[in-house]
Structure 1
Amino acid sequence: MIEMASREIYANGFDEDVQADDQTNGCPECDGRVETNTVETVCEACGLVLAEHAIDHGGEPVYEEETERTGAPLTTSRHDRGLSTTIGRKRDGRGNTLSAKKRRQLGRLCREQKRGRFRSKQERNLSHGLGEVQRVASVLDIDDTLQEQACQLFRSAHSEGLLHGRSIEAVAAASVYAACRCNGRSLQLADVVAAARVGENRVTNAYATLNEELGLPAQPMQPHAYLPRFASNLDVPDAVRRRARTLAERAEETQIVHGASPPGFAAACLYQAAQRADYRLTQAAVADIAGVAANTVRGHRDTLRNELE
């Protein structure tokens, strides 16, 4: 019968540090005591290094205050993802004003840096387009999260070659509109066109191209999504807002909004709610805030009366 070993398997581990009391041999030079730490194995007597670069089992140190050790985070809003350097011309690192000679020197450096920022015309177009996306988003007061998504959409369109034959400004405006549509934010196309530097047809065609080629998860907008902005712009009471939302939700459940303009139907719900609450609100004011004609508001108002009331 063979007697099996009773020692635990991997009792010490294959990569554990060997401490001084486990050493079977001393220093090969002076037979001194050998000590092993997390960095190296060294003789205490003569200082001979026997091994180094041992595995450090300790975790990364945690500091009470967060410190930036890798620079600024990457961003999609710049063509180089924010890795480029910015040269200042007025003050040094300590905040002191620079001399005229130093400012002229830094001005020349800035000029040469701008010339070398782009390696090709494609990068220049990408930088121009991302700047246009940020400009349109700033005019429309869009938050940073949607702005980053719009920049990423423009990057995707640029990499897929969708800018050929199309205006960069149109694709940038369409990217902002698409980012809002994909996140369910009620943003009218007329507002995007007003902030852009191109016509409505170009923005519409660019959005249709993005939606078809990139497969955007854009869902149809519902009338209730426009009510908060319309009610806020018209400064209507809370009771009218709640009644209008109830009308819009009931209309969406009964599917009478199919084929109708969501902003126009939302304006009709708001107007009908104001009429029921005896709040003075004209059709012209509601139609103007929704960007539709007064006849559209009256037509949807009649639909609400006939179907829901």
Structure 2
Amino acid sequence: MATRDIYETGFDEDVRTESSANQCPECDGRVTTNAVETVCEDCGLVIDEQRIDHGPEWRACDNEERKRTGAPLTATRHDRRLSTKIGRCTDAKGNTLSGKKRRRLARMRREQTRGRWRSKAERNLAHGLSEVRRLVSALDIADSVRDQACQLFRSAQNEDLLRGRSIEAIAAASVYGACRCNGLSRLLGEVSEMARVAESRVTNAYGTLNEELGLPAQPVTPSMYVPRLASDLECPDEIRQRARQLAERAEDLGVTTGAHPAGFAAACLYRAGKKLEQLLTQAEVSEAANVSATTVRKHRNTLQQLGDEHASGNRITVEKRGVSAPKQ
């Protein structure tokens, strides 16, 4: 027996069939149709082409637009959103089910819940990704950063970095690492507070991710924290601009190396408010930056020394030109 008698021909194979119903509109010749186009064999006229639509399937059901292709794949779900959900009281058309069918669906949902995860690792992945989504929602972070954080958590699990560490700490470290890679000014204490995990554990987890996975984390500068702290303190635009200038000047001189970026930004806001006669207390700026008031005073003294040196340098330059220096 020949193989063509066993296997049927697929719809997408290039098989030509003659169509006697339709004739060529130009020469009334013989028309053949394959999976791609309809062509006249006599004159070569292409009557129809691209008969197969390779895009998504769209159709209208009950006067409603429904798509048959399903939701797109996403890295924020452990199964990339390929799982099936079983309904409860109604069918696909909205009709109420009988008691026998409802009990049957309840048994099916129970068995589906039991067989939802193939292994313990997959169950830990589902828990970790849900924790990442919760943190991103609580911190009001963009969806693109959320996807990167979920992918970072997957990489951490594949590299066996969850062993000996809590899932919540790795999830918080993944969110903080994604923010650092995108240059977002998020405090580690803020992330750990939302995650309800000790800051030391999140710091340890982030250090492990950064060392083992080689994260392209950008260095955090005080000027990045100035707009966020100014928004939290409801400072005017003049204070924010002045503080941004102080922070950028300190960064150019290299005095911010080794300093706490949020604490230095708080000190810039405090000094800018004092210069513009807008009272900001050290307690307010230190609370917004999640640092102590001692840290703010330390960086304030550094900014004062920079201002004094800058003023003395201007005086020397003016005196060399033979003009009396203005009174300070």
TM-score bucket of the superposed structures, by smaller chain: 0.7 to 0.9
Q: Which residue of 2 aligns with 1:35?
A: 31
CA deviation profile, 1:152-181 (whole Å, cap 9, x unmatched)? 000000111111111111111110110001
Aligned pairs (5 A) from 1:273-288: 273-288=272-287
**Is 1:203 paired with 2:202?**
yes
Cα shift at 1:34:
4.6
SS at match of 1:36: strand
Matches within 5 A, 1:110-259: 110-259=109-258
Counterpart-to-counterpart distance in 2, 1:40 and 1:175: 48
Q: Normalization by structure 1: what TM-score? A: 0.79
Asked whether the equivalents of residues 130 and 154 of structure 1 are also in contact (C-alpha less than 8 Å), the reply is yes
Distance 1:35 1:241, change over 3 A: same
Instruction: Please give the alpha-carbon distance, in whole angstroms, between the structure 2 residues aligned to 1:236 and 1:134.
Output: 31
> 1:292 deviation in Å?
0.7
Q: Does the Cα contact within 8 Å between 1:264 and 1:287 map onto a contact in 2?
A: yes
Whole-angstrom CA distance in 2 between matches of 1:287 and 1:227: 13
Residue 258 of structure 2 corresponds to residue 262 of structure 1: no
For 2:124 and 2:32, the matched residues in 1 are separated by 58
Question: What is the CA–CA distance in structure 2 between the aligned matches of 1:139 and 1:275, rounded to whole Å?
Answer: 34
More RCO (CA 8 Å, sep 6+): 1
Asked whether the equivalents of residues 35 and 41 of structure 1 are also in contact (C-alpha less than 8 Å), the reply is no
Residues 240 and 273, structure 1, Cα contact 8 Å, conserved in 2: yes
Bigger drift between 137-146 and 271-280 goes to 137-146
CA distance in 2, matches of 1:203, 1:62: 45
| Alignment check: 8 A CA contact 1:34 1:41 kept | no
> What residue is the counterpart of 1:49 in the other structure?
none
Q: Deviations over 1:169-194 (max 9, x none)?
A: 11111101100011000110111111
Structure 1 residue runs without a partner (length 5+): 1-14, 21-32, 45-55
Say what the alpha-carbon RMSD is for the aligned residues.
3.0
Q: Which residue of 2 aligns with 1:84?
A: 83
SS state at 1:226 partner: helix
What is the deviation of 1:108? Answer: 2.0
Structure 2: give runs of 5+ residues left out of the alignment: 1-13, 20-28, 41-48, 59-64, 309-328
Change (3 A) 1:41 1:228: closer
CA distance in 1, matches of 2:220, 2:131: 25
- Offset at 1:112? 1.0
Alignment match, 2:108: 109
State the one-letter code of the partner of 1:244: A
Q: Which residue of 2 aligns with 1:7?
A: none
**CA contact under 8 A between 1:251 and 1:308: conserved in structure 2?**
no
CA contact (8 A) 1:182 1:218 kept: yes
Equivalence for 2:292: 293
For residues 134 and 74 of structure 1, the distance between their equivalents in structure 2, rounded to whole angstroms, comes to 16
Q: 1:69–1:102: structure 2 CA closer, same or farther, 3 Å change rule?
A: closer
What CA deviation, in whole Å up to 9, does each residue of 1:255-289 have, x standing for no partner? 11011000000000111111111112111000011
Worse-matched range after superposition: 87-96 or 115-124? 87-96
Counterpart residue identity of residue 115, structure 2: G
Count of residue pairs the alignment pairs up = 269
SS state of the match for residue 78, structure 1?
coil
Distance 1:251 1:118, change over 3 A: same
Given that residues 37 and 51 in structure 2 are in contact (C-alpha distance below 8 angstroms), is that contact kept between their aligned partners in structure 1? no
The alpha-carbon deviation at position 113 of structure 1 amounts to 0.8
C-alpha distance in 2 between matches for 1:40 and 1:297: 72
Identity of aligned residues (%): 59
**Secondary structure in 2 matching 1:75:** coil
Cα separation, 2, equivalents of 1:190 and 1:75: 29
C-alpha change, 1:111 and 1:57, in structure 2 (3 Å) is closer
In structure 1, distance between residues paired with 2:260 and 2:229: 15
Does 2:69 correspond to 1:73?
no
Question: Letter of the aligned partner of 1:112 in structure 2?
Answer: E
Give distance in 2, aligned partners of 1:99 and 1:146: 45
Matched position secondary structure for 1:131: helix
Deviation sequence 1:84-117 (CA, Å, 0-9, x none): 0122324432344545544433222211111111
